[in-house]
Structure 1
């Protein structure tokens, strides 16, 4: 564990998901492992070409291994493993009562503090487990804030100023909810939740208060096989997630990625080794209460800092080609920056996220690879993506046009891969 101690449903489009023919490039690199699996169109051939060209098996004699970076939730797995862990914790009374809900997040509103206090009560001592398994009101408030950033009455749960390309309070809030637990305890919750989620049937749901959420999680076979193929071809494969790092590490082992290659929100620990409401920083942003997490531009920062050793303000900037992943994969706007940084292939699973899909469908460099989700793919989006007007996530939270590197505006794009 790399923590710094600080005091203080099932729809299968058989025709489109048919396995692609072996890529022609394979003949030129017989030593390179060959990718298999059911991929959309010629996506497998595109990925194989990058493996053939960039992998150490191609005999280029590189001193450093090429990098591949994958988002986790809904990119390597179907459904969110952090939500699966939080759901299990709420059903098993694993959230400890804070002295004040307002201390859990620097952006939590008075309305949210009041709602959580009223719903969860003050009947247990500070630091003791809240009885969320038998108190659906408390569970509802916590999960509504996590899911929608609002209280059950509809009031904003977070307010203030933050860089919307570096953090989102409700993502940072999940590790903060586990403050007071050790890394080992949170890992054990994630491990138990993983067992249940993998055993639950595809399409099954569970109830948290009045919320209905997926009960199952599945590893995508194709992504697991892609990761293994990349590793055999000499790539260093990393996971970069906006989830809690101890949780993500439990899951990443299932695809052969170890803790050292798993980057996610790293909680600062107190002197007793317990999680606090602070997380480690990136670049020129020090440890804080959620100011910078692996989210949109933050994922670039963590990749630059932890993989390539780039420090300070420069970690937020796009690096030269030698210091960027060859392949990067994601499914949401939170992944758009680091996926766009890839020099060989930008792999996107279509989850109807506007900024990412505008970049992918624009395909400015001809290297964007779009695939429907492998389990329960979404139907076609009926209207175009608003690329020219409101798909870009501005740092201040506003929406703007998506721009190419040369400053030109990406036109609105139709959804065609689904």
Structure 2
């Protein structure tokens, strides 16, 4: 499936504070660009418009509008080929994490099922974690039956210690072994494996219950789960809902690619105008109508019980290439030609950096002080990056520069090293300038 992706100078300002007068004067194209019927410095008035409320940082709204005007089909003949936009979900489209909200609700309502063995849930789970979970949650509940986590604080706490801290309650490592750190995180995999035994529809129903509770809770509120304190609320970002809707009206094909379990995102996506066939999340293997500990693979990685590749970092690129563009095999992990890449990408963390950087016409980084993403954004190598503070409860400006030149890039073996541009040059350390 071909998508026309003209490389334009539409997003010229890193923070959207300069360059509007020349932003659309030149189009650097890797594919034929449509001719915009506008004068230099002006946006098309016949294209769908972003709302002037709520507010964006600086002139980010104007820069995004220019990208929409120049890339959308309303700018000219696209031969029926729509530009693609892809958004991360948690803390990019919504504030806080919908998987965490769902897990909290399930723990409070006895919806986590006893596994046959904790060791069988995840291939990287350590013997120490297996013993700690078995000790805390007991063996009296038969496999496949609900654990009484609403009342059994010890079991709830141990599950959260392993998931949130990747340690047991007594401080021992919960996961060990080797994995590709640009494709997966054992703790992320294990979270989806905790949902095993339920049907995808049941998990979506649990997520809807959690959604109702999280949207009703006041902004800034927290909740107690066992003895742990977790975020108590979730909110859609009004700016992102407006951006998604405007992109859709302008003819963009808008997708969500999330490291949350896909059935959970399915409960939330309609609130941002995203249809169910435009969702890519972690996809567990389903057998006899129920989720298993197995995770669907991507590229040349087969379905497996470990989750060797998730919708995480390079895995997000792989899944977008696989689902949106039909790229098969190991080629799905590689950067594609501009005709087979997204036009616009938005994310907030390391998990998003690869696919957001792949975008040909615009990149939006929601600033959560995450090193690799912010090094790419502030370096702004192609002049098309925008940085926006978190729309709700923004983080303060980081006082020390991001260590891009020494620890800006996570290698597949888990060792951080220098971040490099496409030409091999090292990205210098970057100051946090947008907060």
Q: Is the 2:93–2:241 contact (alpha carbons within 8 Å) kept by the matching residues of 1? A: yes
Residue correspondence of structure 1 range 118-137 to structure 2 within 5 A:
118-137=135-154
Once the 2 structures are TM-superposed, how far is the Cα of residue 27 of structure 1 from its aligned partner?
4.6
Counterpart selection for 1:303 from 271, 295, 320: 320
Once the 2 structures are TM-superposed, how far is the Cα of residue 28 of structure 1 from its aligned partner?
5.1
Q: Determine if the alignment matches structure 1 residue 221 to structure 2 residue 227.
A: no
Counterpart selection for 2:403 from 386, 402, 410: 386
Once the 2 structures are TM-superposed, how far is the Cα of residue 25 of structure 1 from its aligned partner?
6.5
Residue 366 of structure 1 is matched in structure 2 by: 383
Counterpart selection for 1:283 from 296, 299, 309: 299
Residue correspondence of structure 1 range 15-414 to structure 2 within 5 A:
27=42, 29-36=44-51, 37-270=54-287, 272-289=288-305, 290-414=307-431
Alpha-carbon separation, structure 2, partners of 1:281 and 1:396 = 20
Alpha-carbon separation, structure 2, partners of 1:55 and 1:388 = 36
Once the 2 structures are TM-superposed, how far is the Cα of residue 17 of structure 1 from its aligned partner?
12
SS in 2 for 1:396: coil
Q: Is the 2:299–2:329 contact (alpha carbons within 8 Å) kept by the matching residues of 1? A: yes
SS in 2 for 1:388: helix
For structure 2, the 5+ residue unaligned runs are 1-14, 24-38
Once the 2 structures are TM-superposed, how far is the Cα of residue 224 of structure 1 from its aligned partner?
0.3
SS in 2 for 1:147: helix
Once the 2 structures are TM-superposed, how far is the Cα of residue 26 of structure 1 from its aligned partner?
8.3
Alpha-carbon separation, structure 2, partners of 1:77 and 1:257 = 13
Q: Is the 2:16–2:59 contact (alpha carbons within 8 Å) kept by the matching residues of 1? A: no
Once the 2 structures are TM-superposed, how far is the Cα of residue 147 of structure 1 from its aligned partner?
1.3
Shift of the 25–281 alpha-carbon distance from structure 1 to 2, 3 Å rule, reads: farther
Alpha-carbon separation, structure 2, partners of 1:64 and 1:378 = 38
Q: Is the 1:17–1:38 contact (alpha carbons within 8 Å) kept by the matching residues of 2? A: no
For structure 1, the 5+ residue unaligned runs are 1-15
* CA shift digits 1:278-308 (9 cap, x unpaired): 0111111110121111000000000000000
Q: Is the 1:26–1:32 contact (alpha carbons within 8 Å) kept by the matching residues of 2? A: no
Residue 29 of structure 2 is matched in structure 1 by: none
Moved more, 166-175 or 27-36: 27-36
Q: Is the 1:73–1:80 contact (alpha carbons within 8 Å) kept by the matching residues of 2? A: yes
* CA shift digits 1:143-176 (9 cap, x unpaired): 1221121112111111011101000011111111
Shift of the 25–210 alpha-carbon distance from structure 1 to 2, 3 Å rule, reads: farther
Q: Is the 2:16–2:63 contact (alpha carbons within 8 Å) kept by the matching residues of 1? A: no
* CA shift digits 1:57-88 (9 cap, x unpaired): 11223321100000000000000000000000
SS in 2 for 1:389: helix
Alpha-carbon separation, structure 2, partners of 1:390 and 1:354 = 8
Alpha-carbon separation, structure 2, partners of 1:163 and 1:25 = 46
Alpha-carbon separation, structure 1, partners of 2:399 and 2:100 = 29
Alpha-carbon separation, structure 1, partners of 2:273 and 2:128 = 43
Alpha-carbon separation, structure 1, partners of 2:275 and 2:80 = 22
Alpha-carbon separation, structure 2, partners of 1:55 and 1:242 = 28
Residue 417 of structure 1 is matched in structure 2 by: 434
* CA shift digits 1:168-212 (9 cap, x unpaired): 011111111011111111111001000000000000000112211
Structure 1 consecutive aligned stretches of length 4 or more whose deviation exceeds 3 Å: 21-28
SS in 2 for 1:213: strand
